[in-house]
Every structure is written in C-alpha cells, then in structure tokens.
C-alpha cells in the first residue's frame, strides 16, 4: 500500500544549529548560574546515581521536597533536566502549532521543578518568544523554581525575542497540584509530575484521574490547550490514557499523538502490574544527544541508548462543517422554482445538484460542497432517489 509520511515526531531536523548548541552546552549554562567546584563536580556522577535510586527503587523513602536539597537539585538539573530538555525540544519542535498558544495570555506549568518545560518551549518554538506570556510555575519546591528561573533567563538571553516587551513573565507559586491561582490559563502544561504523584499513592490511576482531571481543568480557561508529558513508564502512560478519555468526553479533541478520538487501543490497563496490555509510549535513539550528557550518564552508570516518553496534546474540538467532493456528470436540466439541476456523483451516491446560477457549472466540474445540515436528512429527488444538494 502507498503512504505519505506526514510527521517524523522525534527527529532533530527542525532544530537549528543554534538550538542544538544550547542543548549541547546546557552544562555550561548551569555552571554559569550555579557553579559547582571541582570536588563537587567529581561527586556529581555518584549523586546522580543516588538520586536515580530515590526516584525509582527507593522512592518510598523519598521526601516530597527532595528538590529543595542542594545536592539533589544539582544532580537533578545536571542530569534529568538536561535529558528532559533533549526529549522535550524534539517533541515540541515537531508538534503542530495547534498544540501551543497562538496569542498573549496566561499559562501554567504544573510540577514545574526547574522550569524545564518553559525553557524547552523557549528553545524549541521561536514563534512563541514573540508572545507576551505570563507563566504561573507551580511546584512544592521553591529552590528548584528559583534555580530554574535563572536557567530560563540565561537560555532566553541566547535567543532574544524580536520585541523586548514580549519577554515571558514568570510567577512562581509554591504549592501542591490543585493550589488555586488568580487567573484561568489558556495553556496548561505538566511534565513528569503525575509519575511522582502516582508513585506516592497506593491507589491505581483509575481512582486518581477523576480528581486529576478536575484539578487540571480548573486551571484552564474555556478554550484552554493542555500539553501533558510523562516518562514512558506504564503507570504514567495509563494515567495519560485515562485523562485523554476524560478530555474527549468533555468535548476536547486530541491533537497528538492520537490519530483519532476513538477508544485507546494502548490504554495500559494494569500494564504496570505486569499484564500484557500495551501502553502508549514513544522511544527514540539518543545517538545524537549531547556527547557530554552521554558521558556523564555513563559515569553515573546510567547510560541511555533510548529516550522514552508518553504525551497528550488536547484542545477544544473544532466544530468543522463537513464537506464532500461532488463531480458533475450531466448537462443542465430545468427544475421547479427557477432552479437548474445537474446529476452528479458523490459519497452520497447519485446526487442532484440544484442551483439558480447554472452558468457557473458544467459537466465534469469537481466541487467541494459544505453541508451544514445532517446528511441523513437531505431531501431526495422522488424520480431518481438522488440526494439533493441546493447550492447558494
Ligand atoms: C520529576 S520532577 C519534574 C520537573 C519538571 N517538570 C521536569 O520535567 O523536569 C517532578 C516535580 O514535581 C514536583 N511535585 C511532586 N509532587 C507535587 C505536587 N503534589 N504538587 C506540585 N508539584 C509536585 C516535584 O517537586 C518536582 O519538581
């Protein structure tokens, strides 16, 4: 079967040399903002490995405010934030513009940590730099947000907005998911937070997502867009799939990754308990990830050959007027009410096109006709049984 490749979601093709350079030299940016001395740098790989245990097999002993502790925050930013920037910039640069804000407004990043999503958006989506966005950044860890803001400023200075006034405004909110903020936001983002919430709860995602959905939608304005990203692990992917269902039931449509709004065939049901159900996740090779990051990962004994993530981008469903292609297949003939008819072929079967301006049409013409009413209720020609399309 023939096919057209529409989108290569995780390629670096859309990233310029300047964007890639910033990703490659992220360690220098962090060192410029919060330098470590040579002894601290020597211990960095060990600290990264220790943090990785806390985020995985020792997560039950992890403190909620772990990101407030200097050593852990340094390890997080210099390893996890760097990898997250690599993953997110690839994702963001290849998503369609529908997934992002198109005008000035309020946005919120939940579980923002060191503002990773915001820095990744600034790097990956140049058109957003010229919007006046006010970002509420919410996290339980003030320390992570303070460092993240300095890192973001440093990144933003490397790609100045065309209009100085457009610079994004950052409002840090120390609080947990659900904490209310003053404005409703037209863009709601969240990366790698639901995974942590899931880890700290004994309840399965099926019990959690109703509350998650209500809290998420509380942050959004009437036509808000949501962009949620998680590590590609089964439980977090399951949470996203359940949130997807709730968004769709509430009149949203999924921009990506789903090519449809039907039931998710990779919904991850119980996949985190070892069932054979597939969970939706995407992996790409890290071959062209920053060399220094790969070296650091090897030193920390956490080498990465593939980066994995799950995500959903949703926005209010557009009510599109359906239209159909119609091919005129006859000469004109007279109809009552001063109209002229043509027989035609369309997905409706034999079709009768009726018009008061027959001079515009002739046999063989191909038309795209917008149908503003229920197709099943179109009138039928009593003689031929053809569906009748009355053109303006
Ligand atoms: C894995 S980090 C992700 C940080 C950032 N979004 C990123 O992708 O790099 C998870 C973040 O969620 C925050 N967090 C955990 N539980 C939270 C909660 N209940 N409310 C708000 N933030 C929370 C943590 O403090 C941490 O900064």
Distance (angstroms) between ligand 1 centre and the Cα of 216 equals 15
Sites in the chain below the pLDDT cut of 70: 60-61, 65, 68, 164-166, 318-321
Task: Provide the greatest CA pair distance for the chain.
Answer: 92
Rounded to 5°, angle at Cα 253 from 248 and 256: 115
C-alpha to C-alpha distance for 55 and 196, rounded to whole angstroms: 8
Of 180, 188, 255, 174, the C-alpha closest to 221 is: 188
User: Which of 84, 108, 193, 233 best tests ligand 1's pocket when mutated (most atoms within 8 Å of CB)?
Assistant: 193
**Closest residue (by CA) to atom 12 of ligand 1?**
111
User: Which residues, other chains included, contact 376 with Cβ-Cβ below 8 Å and sequence gap of 6+?
Assistant: none
pTM of this structure: 0.83
Distance (angstroms) between ligand 1 centre and the Cα of 342 equals 63
- 232 token code pair: 């590609």
C-alpha to C-alpha distance for 254 and 35, rounded to whole angstroms: 42
pLDDT value for 41: 94
What phi and psi values does residue 65 have, to the nearest 5 degrees? -90, 30
- 77 token code pair: 């930013």
CB atoms inside a 10 Å sphere around CB 181: 15
The tens digit of pLDDT for each residue in 320-346 reads: 667 888 898 898 999 999 999 999 998
- Which atom of ligand 1 approaches the CA of 81 most closely? 9
The tens digit of pLDDT for each residue in 74-129 reads: 999 999 999 999 999 999 999 999 999 999 999 999 999 999 999 999 999 999 99
The set of protein residues with a Cβ atom below 6 angstroms from ligand 1 is 67, 80-81, 84, 111-113, 116-117, 138-141, 144, 176-177, 191-193, 196-197
C-alpha to C-alpha distance for 223 and 235, rounded to whole angstroms: 28
Contact predicate 116/149, CB 8 Å: no
- Which atom of ligand 1 approaches the CA of 177 most closely? 20
Q: What percent of the chain has pLDDT over 70?
A: 96
User: Which residues, other chains included, contact 64 with Cβ-Cβ below 8 Å and sequence gap of 6+?
Assistant: 140, 200
pLDDT value for 224: 96
- 284 token code pair: 């790409």
What phi and psi values does residue 166 have, to the nearest 5 degrees? -75, -5
pLDDT value for 55: 83
Helix (H, G, I), strand (E, B) or coil at 307: strand
Rounded to 5°, angle at Cα 302 from 292 and 307: 75
User: Which of 51, 77, 140 best tests ligand 1's pocket when mutated (most atoms within 8 Å of CB)?
Assistant: 140
User: Which residues, other chains included, contact 341 with Cβ-Cβ below 8 Å and sequence gap of 6+?
Assistant: 332, 333, 334, 335, 352, 353, 354, 355
- Tell me the residue ranges of DSSP E strands in 1-117: 105-110
Of 276, 377, 284, the C-alpha closest to 83 is: 284
Distance (angstroms) between ligand 1 centre and the Cα of 327 equals 56
Distance (angstroms) between ligand 1 centre and the Cα of 193 equals 5
pLDDT value for 339: 94
C-alpha to C-alpha distance for 348 and 375, rounded to whole angstroms: 9
**Closest residue (by CA) to atom 11 of ligand 1?**
111
């Amino acid at each position: 079967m023939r096919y057209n490749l529409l989108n290569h979601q995780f390629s670096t093709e859309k990233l310029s040399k300047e964007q890639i350079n910033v990703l490659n030299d992220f360690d220098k940016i962090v060192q410029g903002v919060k330098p470590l001395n040579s002894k601290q740098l020597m211990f960095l790989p060990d600290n990264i490995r220790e943090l990785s245990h806390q985020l995985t097999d020792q997560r039950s002993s992890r403190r909620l405010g772990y990101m407030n502790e200097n050593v852990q925050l340094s390890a997080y930013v210099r390893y996890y934030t760097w990898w997250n920037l690599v993953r997110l910039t690839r994702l963001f640069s290849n998503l369609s513009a529908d997934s992002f804000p198109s005008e000035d407004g309020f946005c919120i990043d939940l579980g923002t940590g060191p503002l990773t999503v915001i820095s990744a958006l600034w790097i990956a989506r140049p058109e957003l730099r010229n919007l006046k966005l006010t970002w509420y950044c919410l996290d339980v860890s003030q320390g992570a947000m303070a460092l993240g803001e300095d890192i973001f400023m440093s990144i933003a200075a490397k790609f100045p907005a065309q209009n100085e006034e457009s610079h994004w405004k950052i409002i840090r909110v120390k609080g947990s998911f659900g904490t209310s903020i003053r404005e409703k936001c037209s863009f709601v983002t969240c990366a790698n937070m639901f995974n942590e919430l899931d880890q700290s709860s004994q309840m399965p995602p099926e019990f959690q997502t109703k509350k998650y959905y209500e809290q998420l939608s509380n942050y959004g304005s009437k036509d808000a867009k949501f962009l949620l990203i998680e590590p590609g692990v089964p439980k977090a992917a399951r949470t996203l799939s359940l949130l997807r269902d709730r968004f769709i039931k509430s009149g949203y449509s999924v921009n990506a990754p789903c090519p449809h709004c039907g039931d998710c065939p990779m919904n991850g049901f119980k996949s985190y308990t070892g069932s054979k159900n597939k969970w939706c996740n995407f992996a790409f090779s890290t071959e062209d990830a920053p060399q220094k990051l790969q070296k650091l990962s090897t030193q920390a004994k956490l080498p990465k050959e593939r980066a994995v993530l799950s995500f959903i981008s949703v926005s209010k469903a557009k009510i599109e007027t359906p239209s159909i292609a119609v091919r005129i297949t006859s000469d004109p003939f007279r109809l009552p009410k001063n109209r002229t008819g043509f027989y035609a072929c369309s997905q409706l079967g034999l079709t009768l096109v009726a018009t008061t301006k027959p001079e515009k049409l002739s046999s063989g013409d191909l038309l795209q006709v917008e149908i503003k009413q229920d197709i099943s209720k179109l009138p039928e020609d009593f003689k031929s049984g053809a569906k009748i399309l009355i053109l303006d």
